[in-house]
Amino acid sequence: MALSTSSAITLNINGEKHTLPVDHRTTLLDALREHLDLTGTKKGCDQGQCGACTVLIDGRRAVSCLQLAIASEGRVITTIEGVADGERLHPVQQAFLDLDGYQCGYCTPGQICSAIAMIEEHAAGWPSAATADVRPEAGAPPLTADEIRERMSGNLCRCGAYVSIVQAVAQAAEAEAAQTPTTARQFSGPSGPGDLAHPAGTTDAEMTA
Instruction: Give the residue ranges of DSSP H helices in the chain.
Output: 28-30, 91-98, 108-123, 145-151, 162-179, 204-208
Considering only 33, 42, 51, 164, the residue that binds other proteins (CB under 8 A) is: 51
Considering only 84, 97, 104, 134, the residue that binds other proteins (CB under 8 A) is: 134
Considering only 13, 31, 32, 62, the residue that binds other proteins (CB under 8 A) is: 62
Considering only 114, 164, 171, 202, the residue that binds other proteins (CB under 8 A) is: 114
- Sheet with 54-57: list strands edge to edge: 16-23, 6-13, 76-78, 54-57, 60-63
Q: Residue 135 interacts with other proteins (CB under 8 A)?
A: yes
Considering only 21, 136, 160, 193, the residue that binds other proteins (CB under 8 A) is: 136
In the bound complex, what is the minimum distance in angstroms from residue 134's beta carbon to other proteins?
5
C-alpha distances out from residue 139 to 142, 164, 203, Å: 9, 27, 18
DSSP string, 140-165: PPP--HHHHHHHTTTS--TT--HHHH
In the bound complex, what is the minimum distance in angstroms from residue 117's beta carbon to other proteins?
7
In sequence order, what are the residues at sequence separation of 6 or more whose Cβ sits closer than 8 angstroms to the Cβ of residue 60? 117, 188
> In terms of CB distance, is 72 or 171 closer to other proteins?
72
Considering only 97, 104, 129, 159, the residue that binds other proteins (CB under 8 A) is: 129
Q: Residue 44 interacts with other proteins (CB under 8 A)?
A: no
> In terms of CB distance, is 7 or 14 closer to other proteins?
7
Where does residue 157 fall: left (phi above 0), alpha (psi -120 to 50 degrees), or beta otherwise? Answer: beta
Look up residue 47 and give its DSSP letter. S
CA separation for the pair 33, 41 (Å, rounded): 7
**Residues contributing to the site for other proteins (CB under 8 A):** 3-5, 7, 23-25, 27, 46-48, 51, 54, 57, 60-63, 66-68, 70-71, 114, 117-118, 121, 124-129, 131, 134-137, 149-155, 189-191, 195
